[in-house]
């Protein structure tokens, strides 16, 4: 295969961090090249350099054998490089088409001769009606209508002319032409009306009109050609198997379809190299399978893909070649046929990683969380929870499984006080906390790892130390009355950062500067390092590398063994089955079944997620029907 991209000795430094250290690799035409690495290994930094968001301190990049300088994303796009970011770059209130064409909008001339005729006719009618009151005979009425129609049409005709010139001419030519005409017309008008006109003022007025009218007419004479945009998007959708509705609002689309929109954005700009940064981090298993089919289709049509991920199974499934980064350096290059998940994990972390959770039998105690007939609405005020009943006991993990969008997000938000319930009750340690505030819930000993770490878990502009103290900054020993004791706070933050292996050059830097995985570690460190009775973990390992996943899994089981009640919500079936003692399955806002984790297979769990009932319930109903059928009639 032809070499399409080559990077040599790429080095990038940030204050206190060597993000990339002489990284080199090649990408071939029509292949999927996967990059693996821990959080903070330098994968995203390297991709941001290729896309022009960063500039390397050292090193060279070649595209099709030619050295290139990529200073910004415009350079990357011109070279045929497109990037789909981990956090989508979409405007929710815009349509699919508007998001895709943004910055490269197909336009049309907004003025039309038809509108000129309509304006002239309407003006003539209005002037005719006005003439009925101002003049006395029909000829004067008609003359007024004719004059008004012609004047309005002439004014609109002037706009058409200026708009046409502004689209076809450069500013310099437009300025010279319009300025000459304007000055000439103003001088003629001035000499006609005034024997001694102020010539400098008239000349200045003509020049000012020419200069000011150019940007105004560029805007007024240009309109988004929605028909052309929609037609091109539908063509690309059909060509690459990316089914989307160009007229749909982004806010109304599920995450998987939003990702298709991001991919179409790159294809619309004729990208030959696609960089997918953690594309499966927010996808369900079904959406991930669909993405892989799309990727195979793109490669079959000659595109080249750089695939960034933490998930070993995905790499083994989809990649042609695999490059592993650790601490900013390339530690290995291999292919799925030549390696195993265990070897890849060891290359990533630098040690042997236990991919199987070491979990003993649970010893459940008293009920800590009890939910009865809970109902709630989603953001569109549609029913999201439809009578949820569940309980979690001290010393056990209750996993909530289900395809994303079946009420799991709303359940967690209601339990943690982020969203009101419309009915039912929530009790924690016997206290009724239905619709209680987040602080009330937190002070009862509840820890929360939110589904969206950046939206609900962190204040990104705050330093790492401040984010570690969001739950208890106002309590001793960190506060004395209204005074915050920063010495105690920083001492505690330094200890927690070391204990939970948060990779940061300083606890004083903004949390937004950390990698996604280290942001998640900040949340875990904050929630796990204080006394808790109930842990509500929603997608706790989303976007984390295999070493971090192993660490968080071990911590979750450790908390369970310490007597903490754990409610685990995850779309990862392997995670649910590995960590849970009992599994509750959600479907369309209801718990359709709760089963012991060691008594159900992955296939049976998948059926429950699709809305089927547990075998026990189906068997009981069959028995009832059989009994009814045996009752003699009459």
Which pLDDT value is given to residue 633?
33
Domains of the chain and any CATH numbers: 3-80+272-349 (3.40.50.300), 107-224 (no CATH), 358-445+532-634 (3.40.50.300), 449-530 (no CATH)
Which pLDDT value is given to residue 423?
95
pLDDT in tens, 493-532: 999 999 888 888 899 999 998 877 788 889 999 999 999 9
Three-state secondary structure call for residue 527: helix
DSSP assignment of 434-473 equals TT--HHHHHHTTEEEE-SSIIIII--TTSBHHHHTTTTTT
In angstroms, rounded to a whole number, what is the distance separating the alpha carbons of residues 68 and 60?
8
Note every long-range contact of 287-296, with CB atoms under 8 Å and residues 24 or more positions apart, other chains counting. Answer: 287/254, 287/255, 287/256, 287/259, 288/314, 290/256, 291/256, 291/259, 292/317, 292/318, 293/241, 294/240, 294/241, 294/242, 294/260, 294/263, 295/32
Q: Is the pLDDT of residue 634 over 70?
A: no
Mean pLDDT rounded to a whole number for the chain: 85
Which pLDDT value is given to residue 202?
66
- For the full predicted model, state whether its pTM sits above 0.75: no
pLDDT in tens, 85-118: 877 888 989 999 889 988 877 766 666 667 767 7
pLDDT in tens, 11-49: 999 887 899 999 999 999 999 999 998 877 888 899 999
Of the listed ranges 8-22, 48-62, 273-287, 308-322, the least confidently predicted one is 273-287
**634 or 44: whose pLDDT is higher?**
44
Instruction: Give the length of the chain.
Output: 634
Which pLDDT band holds residue 607 (cuts at 50, 70, 90)? confident
**293 or 241: whose pLDDT is higher?**
293
Residue indicated by tokens 């950062």: 497
In angstroms, rounded to a whole number, what is the distance separating the alpha carbons of residues 580 and 583?
6
Say if residue 333 is exposed, middle or buried (CB neighbours under 10 Å; 0-12, 13-18, 19+): middle
Which pLDDT value is given to residue 464?
95
Neighbouring-strand partners of residue 558? none
Q: Is the pLDDT of residue 191 over 80?
A: no
Sign of CA dihedral 483, 487, 488, 491: positive
CA–CA–CA angle 567, 257, 264 (5° rounding): 140
pLDDT in tens, 458-476: 999 999 999 999 998 888 8
Which pLDDT value is given to residue 626?
45
Which pLDDT value is given to residue 604?
83
Which pLDDT value is given to residue 563?
95
pLDDT in tens, 346-374: 888 888 777 677 788 999 999 999 999 99
In angstroms, rounded to a whole number, what is the distance separating the alpha carbons of residues 467 and 445?
18
Which pLDDT value is given to residue 59?
95
pLDDT in tens, 158-178: 777 887 888 788 888 888 888
Which pLDDT value is given to residue 620?
41
Q: Which of 104-113, 209-218, 527-536, 546-555 has the highest mean pLDDT?
A: 527-536
Q: Is the pLDDT of residue 616 over 70?
A: no
Q: Is the pLDDT of residue 306 over 90?
A: yes
**619 or 524: whose pLDDT is higher?**
524
Q: Is the pLDDT of residue 179 over 90?
A: no
The candidate with the shortest Cα–Cα distance to 257, out of 231, 282, 222, 230, is 282
- In a 13 Å sphere around the CA of 98, the CA atoms on its Cβ side amount to 12
In angstroms, rounded to a whole number, what is the distance separating the alpha carbons of residues 305 and 321?
11
**Cβ atoms 393, 364 nearer than 8 A:** yes
Which pLDDT value is given to residue 628?
36
Q: Is the pLDDT of residue 631 over 50?
A: no
Which pLDDT value is given to residue 282?
67
Please state, for a pLDDT cut of 70, what percent of the chain lies above it.
91
DSSP assignment of 133-172 equals HH-SSHHHHHHHHHHHHHHHHHHHHHHHHHHHHHHHS-HH
pLDDT in tens, 552-575: 898 899 999 999 999 999 888 888
pLDDT in tens, 413-449: 999 999 999 999 999 999 999 999 999 999 999 999 9
Task: Give the DSSP H or E segment for 9.
Answer: strand 3-14
Residue indicated by tokens 């059926």: 607
Mean pLDDT in residue range 527-549: 87
């Amino acid at each position: 295969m032809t070499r399409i991209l080559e990077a040599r000795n790429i080095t990038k430094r940030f204050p206190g961090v060597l993000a990339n250290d002489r990284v080199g690799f090649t990408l071939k035409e029509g292949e999927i090249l996967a990059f693996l690495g821990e959080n903070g290994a330098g994968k995203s930094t390297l991709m941001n350099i290729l896309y022009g968001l960063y500039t390397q301190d050292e090193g060279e990049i070649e595209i099709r054998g030619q050295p290139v300088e990529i200073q910004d994303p415009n350079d990357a796009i011109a070279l045929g490089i497109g990037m789909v970011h981990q956090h989508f770059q979409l405007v929710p209130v815009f349509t699919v088409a508007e998001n895709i064409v943004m910055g490269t909008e197909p336009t049309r001339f907004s003025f039309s001769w038809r509108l000129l005729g309509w304006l002239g006719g309407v003006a003539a009618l209005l002037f005719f009606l006005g003439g009925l009151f101002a003049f006395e005979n029909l000829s004067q009425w008609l003359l007024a209508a004719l004059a008004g129609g012609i004047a309005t049409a002439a004014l609109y005709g002037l706009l058409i002319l200026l708009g046409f010139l502004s689209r076809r001419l450069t500013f310099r030519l437009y300025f010279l032409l319009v300025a000459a005409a304007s000055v000439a017309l103003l001088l003629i008008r001035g000499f006609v009306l005034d024997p001694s006109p102020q010539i400098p003022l008239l000349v200045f007025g003509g020049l000012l009109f020419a200069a000011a009218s150019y940007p105004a007419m560029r805007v007024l004479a240009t309109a988004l050609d929605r028909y052309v945009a929609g037609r091109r998007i539908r063509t690309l959708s059909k060509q690459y198997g990316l089914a989307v509705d160009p007229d749909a609002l982004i806010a109304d689309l599920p995450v998987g379809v939003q990702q298709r929109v991001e991919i179409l954005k790159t294809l619309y700009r004729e990208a030959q190299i696609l960089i997918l940064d953690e594309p499966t981090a927010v996808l369900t298993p079904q959406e991930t399978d669909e993405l892989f089919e799309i990727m195979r289709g793109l490669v079959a049509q000659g595109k080249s893909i750089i695939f960034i991920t933490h998930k070993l199974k995905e790499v083994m499934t989809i990649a042609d070649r695999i490059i592993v980064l650790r601490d900013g350096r390339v530690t290995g290059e291999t292919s799925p046929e030549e390696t195993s998940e265990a070897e890849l994990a060891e290359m990533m972390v630098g040690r042997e990683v236990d991919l199987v959770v070491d979990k003993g039998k649970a010893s459940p105690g008293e009920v800590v969380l009890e939910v009865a007939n809970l109902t709630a609405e989603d953001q569109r005020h549609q029913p999201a929870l439809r009578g949820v009943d569940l309980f979690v006991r001290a010393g056990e993990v209750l996993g909530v499984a289900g395809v994303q969008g079946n009420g799991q997000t709303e359940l967690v938000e209601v339990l943690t006080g982020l969203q009101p319930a419309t009915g039912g009750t929530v009790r924690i340690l016997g206290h009724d906390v239905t619709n209680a505030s987040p602080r009330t819930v937190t002070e009862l000993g509840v820890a929360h790892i939110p589904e969206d770490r950046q939206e609900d878990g962190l204040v990104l502009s705050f330093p790492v130390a401040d984010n570690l103290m969001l739950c208890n900054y106002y309590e001793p020993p960190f506060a004395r009355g209204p005074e915050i004791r920063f010495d105690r706070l920083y001492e505690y933050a330094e200890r927690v950062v070391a204990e939970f292996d948060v990779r940061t050059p300083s606890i004083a830097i903004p949390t937004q500067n950390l990698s996604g995985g280290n942001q998640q570690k900040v949340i875990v460190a904050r929630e796990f390092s204080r006394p808790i009775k109930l842990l509500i973990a929603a997608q706790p390992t989303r976007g984390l590398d295999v070493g971090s996943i192993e660490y968080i899994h071990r911590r979750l089981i450790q908390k369970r063994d310490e007597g903490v009640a754990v409610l685990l919500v995850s779309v990862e079936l392997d995670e649910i089955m590995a960590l849970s003692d009992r599994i509750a399955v959600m479907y369309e806002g209801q718990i359709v079944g709760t089963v012991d984790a060691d008594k159900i297979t992955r296939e049976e769990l998948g059926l429950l997620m699709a809305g089927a009932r547990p075998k026990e319930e189906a068997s009981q109903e069959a028995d009832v029907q059989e009994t009814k059928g045996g009752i003699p009639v009459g």
